[in-house]
Amino acid sequence: MTEFVTRFGSLDSYEKGHIEIINDNPKHYVFSNIFEVAGGAKPYEKVAVAKNLEYVIEAIRAEGTSGWMAASHDEFCVVMDGEVTVELVKLDQPEAVAPATKEGTVAVAGEPAGRRMGTITLRRGHQALLPKGAAYRFRSAKPAVMIQQTILGDLTVQKWAQICYS
């Protein structure tokens, strides 16, 4: 029986992967390493690493405190390395901050107007819902890595030529 070893990557220690194509052309596939992408990103830069129609998965380097953000749709984030705190505020006027016609994450100017919902502390493998109608910001004392699912929007950075291997 073949023995497999699971290795978890981190911002400080990751191995570049590869793909094994069974019966197809490798040029039909691309992949990137979220730890490598986050390692080369600015804090809270939302770099797309996967795309399916209008949806994207973004690799994010969490470091320090982000600005406030919101979306007209639910989003979620998963911490892949480190520890990240999420602060949530139920917006008084969500449509004024993130109109239904605006897709993707939007930056919130200044402090959001609304009732504090609380905080969530996330560690490796923990996931949080970032609900429609709420503003959120991230805090991390040390560099950490997150992925976030959202819809392609103005804050999504696309660096496909720099980050993808085929």
**Per-residue pLDDT at 165 exceeds 70:** no
Domain boundaries, the chain: 43-160
What pLDDT, on a 0 to 100 scale, did the predictor assign at position 26?
A: 59
Percentage helix, strand, coil, to 5, in the chain?
A: 10, 45, 45
- Give me the helices (H) in 67-145, please: 94-97
How confident is residue 5, by pLDDT bands cut at 50, 70 and 90?
confident
Per-residue H/E/C for 107-129: ECCCCCCEEEEEEEEEECCCEEE
Please name the fold of domain 43-160.
Answer: Jelly Rolls (2.60.120)
Mean pLDDT, the chain, whole residue set = 90
Do 79 and 33 meet the contact criterion of CB atoms below 8 Å apart? no
Q: What is the pLDDT of residues 88-140, one digit of tens each?
A: 999 999 999 999 999 999 999 999 999 999 999 999 999 999 999 999 999 99
- The pTM (predicted TM-score) of the whole model is 0.86
Radius of gyration from C-alpha coordinates of the chain? 17
